[in-house]
Structure 1
Amino acid sequence: MKDVFEAFDQILKVAVSMENKYEEINEFANVITKISNQTNLLSLNAAIEATRAGQSGKGFAVVAGEMKSLSDTTQKSAKDIIRLLEEMSHIMNLLKGESDKGKQIVTIANNAMNESNESFHSIAEAEKRVNDQLEVMKTLQVDNLNEITNNFTYIIKKFTEENNNIDELILNVEKKAVFYSNIINQLNQIKKLKDKDRN
């Protein structure tokens, strides 16, 4: 982008330099026009004097005619130079205008590119923040799952322990029941024996 700006600046410098040269050439053309006008005036005066001199001024009249022809040619050339210079000036103005437009377009494009870069940078930062947040959430979820798993393990362990205690208690109750059942049976046997003795 910097190279493009430098190229446009170089074009402007060339255009300004050509404009300066145009001014110089235009001054020369104006000088030539003035000289041509003076030569034309001199040739007119010479023609008048040749007419007054009559036959003896014939040679002088030829010189006056040549001077007028030279003056006309010079004046026409000066006008052509001025016309070409004006066309060149118009082209240089167009060139400067287009160069300015080009610089403006490049500036707009450069600004748009900078804005795009800033947008991409903002998007990248936002994406990084989202990824960081996801990592935090992921870590929290893993920690929570570990805690839940540990709690379940603890509950299962406690349940198993309690279940073992219940099994042991049931076993003891069953033993006691058998024991008491035996005692009741023995008491019933004793009672039967006593009843027999009474009869």
Structure 2
Amino acid sequence: MEEKGKADLEVKNSDDKIDEILENVGSISDKLNGMNELFLKKIQSTSFEKEIADKLHEEIQKYRNDLHFQLVKPLILDLINMRESMKKGVGNFCKKTDEEKLKLLQSYIEEIEIILENNDIEIYETGNRENIDFDAKRQKIIKKIETSDEELHGKIYNISSSGYMHKGRVILPEKVEVYIHNKDEEKDKMKGE
């Protein structure tokens, strides 16, 4: 009987261990189910956040596009009005006298100047005085004129076009022709003498 009692005790201990293992497996299973639910919620949350971010990005892009148009709209309207004005002027251009043609072209230049002024663009021109130094911040050299006179080096020979500024910042410099001292020419003259 003793053996039967030992066997029953071992079976009971074994059953207890199996029950304990099953409890642990059940507990682990519950925890895994909980983690699975959290993971699914996180995935749903992430896709919801991505969807919101995409919608916000789309709305911002629409706003930017509209804002850009609102900023350039006055300029576009000015250009449309100028185009219509030019169409009227071109209609009977051939019948006009040279003086009338010149006045018409001058009026277009003035219209463009007004459009630029309305958009905070300042037109600047360096006066046609003699011995004006080249200013790299406000001017761009388009042609170099060689000279043997060293005093003329870096001086403006001719101004080809106006410069344009926006709120004190040059956006298109004046185009100028500048004297460049040619040392070789001076040496050649000395050798020839």
| Structure-1-length-normalised TM-score | 0.42
Structure holding more helix per residue:
1
| Structure-2-length-normalised TM-score | 0.43
The higher relative CO (CA closer than 8 Å, separation ≥ 6) is in 1
Structure showing greater Rg: 1
